Amino acid sequence: DVKVTQSSRYLVKRTGEKVFLECVQDMDHENMFWYRQDPGLGLRLIYFSYDVKMKEKGDIPEGYSVSREKKERFSLILESASTNQTSMYLCASSLGTSTQYFGPGTRLLVL
Amino acid sequence: DQQVKQNSPSLSVQEGRISILNCDYTNSMFDYFLWYKKYPAEGPTFLISISSIKDKNEDGRFTVFLNKSAKHLSLHIVPSQPGDSAVYFCAAIPYNTDKLIFGTGTRLQVFP
């Protein structure tokens, strides 16, 4: 079974703080993705990565950065958290052009 | 610009009846379509998919239909069960990419 884990299920941060969200997959998948889910907007792609040290902007990359130093780990960084980044963050991985498998999500609240 | 649209934000169906969830898309370069199911406080889980070369794919109680000329996708669940109550997202993959484009989701409630 594919397993995608995210470091935190719930997180509360203050405006201006730097926030790290970690994602790890155990299936040797090449591709990893970060999404955010907001009511009425579905899932929107923030960043994705096809390989170690490679990253591509998704549809809403502003205010975020990512790091992929190892194949199994993909980190999302909020350089200076803002209240409009309060959301559910979902990580996914896939092998080539195939089904994406999602982690359980991190619900982030920025005060 | 929403390339994948789910125009019904919610749907309520009685247990045992058929649930039909609809999805429309605008990009003719999509060549693979998927449905995901999401429970609250959990990540989406893959349900069923269909390639653009097919018009139907069936897996147990779940059937996905694709009408390419209408750019329309639907998910049929029959018979519906209370455990099917969740948010359903359709998603599409453009040709030659690995990116998923998601719809906004439809909340299905199956009542006894």
pLDDT digits (tens, 9 = 90+) for B28-75: 889 899 999 999 888 999 999 999 999 999 999 999 999 999 999 999
* Residue whose entry in the numeric block shows the structure tokens 């096809």: A50
Chain B residues whose CB is inside 8 A of the A94 CB are 98
pLDDT band (50, 70, 90) for residue B95: confident
Q: Are A24 and A36 in contact (CB under 8 A)?
A: no
pLDDT, position A97: 65
Count other Cβ atoms within 10 Å, centred on residue B85: 18
Nearest chain B Cα distance for residue A28, angstroms: 16
User: Which CATH number is B96's domain given?
Assistant: 2.60.40.10
Q: What is the domain count for chain B?
A: 1
To the question of domain A4-98 being in CATH 2.60.120.560, the answer is no
Which residues is A11 bridged to in the sheet? A108
Contact A42, B5 (CB under 8 A): no
- Which one of B89, B98, B106, B107 would you mutate to disrupt binding with A, by most A Cβ within 10 Å of its Cβ? B98
**Which amino acid is residue A81, in one-letter code?**
A
Mean pLDDT of chain A: 93
Domain of residue B105: give its range.
Answer: 4-111
**A35, A94, A103 member nearest B98 (Cβ):** A94
Between CA A92 and CA A46 the distance in angstroms is: 12
Chain A interface mutation, best of B21, B93, B100, highest count of A Cβ atoms under 10 Å: B100
The domain ranges of chain A are 4-98
- Residue A96 pLDDT > 80, yes or no? no
